[in-house]
Amino acid sequence: MAEKISPGMQQYLDIKADYPDAFLLFRMGDFYELFYEDAVNAAQILELSLTSRNKNAENPIPMAGVPYHSADHYIEQLVSLGHKVAVAEQVEDPKTAVGIVKRAVTQVITPGTAVDVGQTTDNNFLVALDKGDEKYALAYMDLSTGEFKATQLSDFSTTLSEISSLKAREIVVGYALKADDRQIFEKQMNLMVSEQFDFEDIHSSLSRLENQVASKLLAYVKRTQLRDLSHLQEVEHYEIKDFLQMDFATKSSLELTTNKREGKKHGTLYWLLDATKTAMGTRLLRSWLERPLISSSEITKRADIVQLFLDNFFERADLIEALKGVYDLERLASRVSFGKVLPVDYLQLENSLSNIPGIKNVLLAMKNSALEPLISQLDEIPELIRLIHNAIDESAQRVITEGGVIKTGYNEQLDKYREALANGTSWIAELEAKEKEKTGISTLRIDFNRKDGYYFHVTQSQLASVPEYFYRKATLKNSERFGSKELAEIEEIMLEAREKSSILEYDLFAQVRTETEQYISRLQKVAKAIASIDCLQSLATIAEKYQYVRPVFTQERQVNIVNGRHPVVESVLGAQEYVPNDIKLPEETAIQLITGPNMSGKSTYMRQFAMIVIMAQIGSFVPAELAELPVFDAIFTRIGASDNLISGESTFMVEMMEANHAIQHATAHSLIIFDELGRGTATYDGMALAQAIIEYIHDNIHAKTLFATHYHELTDLSGSLEGLENVHVATLEKGGDVTFLHKIAEGPADKSYGIHVAKIAGLPARLLERADIILQKLENKPVVRQASGEEKEQLSLFPVEDNHQEIIERLREINLDNMTAREALNFLWDLRDDL
């Protein structure tokens, strides 16, 4: 016989059936309860006490709970670990409910829809993906700021790169997903995959597929948030090709916004350039670095303002001070829309808007037309300032329900209730003094608690003096509590005033919130202007600090960087320690082939070039004495070894995939940076591929390319490829010691100095001596190099003697691929014995 289920538990099961993939927090009084498997899992994750409901039943129901006032902390923990949380609230007053209290889910919180993001200023993008006719459409939204954009993408690889760049935690898929693709999203990219097939067309000006994916994303947000979100902006179309194209691997290898070791901001270009003073400015700076411009006119507009801020030191100092008083307007607006705004948020909003006139006056004082577009967007919103100033008390705290939120004088009825409460307090004091004198009970006092209300407190020793008109309310161990008719009358007035004032104050606060909603779009516009101003002053501040110069953009395809520096490395080492380098690529030179030892600075030199290009194309000044550049349309890199262990791809496979991506997508206006390409396979395989790639770029793509290699044989290509030049990292060799000068010089390197690097690494002296002997033997009989295009054959490193011909034949005939390690070792021993 099945166990009988209570009406309350049946209500829980009915709601849970609609949200099977989420932890259901079921409000019961002062707690959110979890049941069954949710309770077991949540107890383990959140370290909660696991109890049970109906303990005496044959199958007790597992149960765990969290207090409602601290639920946000537990929800944040679950969501940060990649779980969904559905919150079921009591949607009717338990006092007036007939039967079981009605409950319903009021919000579903997921990794991509979380808006209470703590202290971080980073965006939290929720991504949606749809597919049609072999093309993909992607839309993304940040619920904490209202940003909403969409684009169309040509292939799955580009789509994955864009999702990675957005650092999304959740993807909403609007089509039937293949198992392999789901595996990529869930296992390799660590994304929560949600589905949304139904949608209401939002009728935007986007393409059909973009409109469809944006509509599905909006439908998913409405389905999970269950409220009108007035702060969501109209969906905006963007094109990846309208910005400097960099795939996720490139951004990662250059460490633009996150470092490789920890995935944090420290040690990145973003970290270096961030002297912003507002949360909006910090987010926008990151966006600029992720998407540098390719329009020289737009770049010039930004650089003009950076120059202006540099030239006006005192005005910039005043501007920085004014910006410090501006809070996160975008997220304050979203809190209003979500109905989560607190009294302190209004005070921050008023303070922020009060700083706008100061910011505007500083910009006006500079008297420059370049600032006019920004000045025009600095809307002070005086009506909102007035509303907040009149309504919200300056000493208001975070809690809405405990009074002290609405300013005295804002509402006449509320003032009357407060007056009654104030008078009641004095009435209580007067009554206490009167009864002390009348009864002669010197320790008599009037106290209050929720259970007994107001009462006279009388100790055991003075009970004999209690008058007849006192009536007993409660008996304690050493005292008793009494009431009187007069005290009850005062209590009735005060409790009514307290209850009604609390309800009225909450209602008035809700009215203020509703009124504020009409200003959300204006707040978002002024937030964008503040963010731009903040980013530009930040670039000016950093340019001044590190003595950067303004880059010059030319129509010619030539690069002339004099004494360029890697900005991050320089900031860590200090200007005195860092060795600057020129980078000169005339119109006719497409490729620089860079040779030189490890640890000598080849990678820094190449990264330096990419960093300068990116900085220049966001409108920043750059670390150099002079920088003349074309506008690049894309940067492709292959720097450093990295296996993709999750997907089982080796270093060499990753190398070839990234090289292919560059070859397939690069144009004559692109920048390609390849470091040690081909080293992941056998020497001659790698060398052959490296040469073929260089020749292909030279003959077919014509992109500006820096190619670092240890294959010294490739330096001969300068004889057959007109657009290739050799450069190397200079060294100083004296008395057997080698010093890396970190300076790029013309021509190929004559040595690799690998043994010297091994010495620095601390390998044993005997091992290094042996390596040096072997090296000298090999260098005395070098590999014969053939000219480009001729048939190449690997020649012997050792002299051939007639009596060794038999051994050589044995070596030629042996099939090494089919030998075990032991067989190969035995074969080697036999050869040595014969020799």
User: Which residues are documented as binding site for ATP?
Assistant: 596-603
Report the relative pairing of strands 125-132 and 170-173 from DSSP bridges.
parallel
Contact 783, 684 (CB under 8 A): no
Question: Measured between alpha carbons, how far is 118 from 28 in angstroms, rounded to an integer?
Answer: 27
Sign for the CA dihedral angle at 31, 36, 41, 43 comes to positive
Tally Cβ neighbours within 10 Å of residue 824.
12
- Using the 8-state DSSP alphabet, how is residue 549 labeled? B
Pairing assessment for the beta strands 591-595 and 724-734 based on DSSP bridges: parallel
Residues in the chain: 835
DSSP 456: E
What value, to the nearest 5°, has the Cα angle with vertex 660 and ends 615 and 681?
A: 110
C-alpha to C-alpha distance for 356 and 460, rounded to whole angstroms: 65
* Cα separation, 214 vs 290, whole angstroms: 22
SS3 of 582-636: the string is EEEECCCCCEEEEECCCCCCHHHHHHHHHHHHHHHHCCCCECCCEEEECCCCEEE
Q: Indicate the annotated binding residues.
A: 596-603
Q: Helix 329-338 vs helix 485-517: angle between axes, to the nearest 10 degrees?
A: 120
CA distance 221 to 232: 10
Contact call for residues 589 and 530 (beta carbons, < 8 A): no
Exposed e or buried b for every residue in 60-98, given b needs 16+ CB within 10 A? ebbbbbbebeebeebbbebbeeebbbbbbbbeeeeeeee
Find, among 564, 627, 644, 768, the residue nearest to 188 by Cα.
Answer: 644
How many C-beta atoms surround the C-beta of residue 391 within 10 A? 22
Residue with tokens 């037309």: 369
Neighbouring-strand partners of residue 595: 728
Do residues 29 and 71 lie in contact, with contact meaning Cβ atoms separated by under 8 Å? no
Q: How far apart are CA 670 and CA 661, in angstroms?
A: 13
Distance of CA 437 to the CA centre of its chain: 69
- DSSP 8-state code for residue 394: T
For 606, the token pair is 């190449």
- Residue 149 identity (one-letter amino acid): K
Compute how many other C-beta atoms are within 10 angstroms of the C-beta atom of residue 102.
14
Token look-up 């050799």 returns 726
Burial of 253-281, coded b for 16+ CB within 10 Å and e otherwise, reads bbbbbbbeeeeebebbbbbbbbbbbbbbb
State CA 101 to chain mean position distance. Answer: 41
The amino acid that residue 597 corresponds to is P
Contact 516, 384 (CB under 8 A): yes
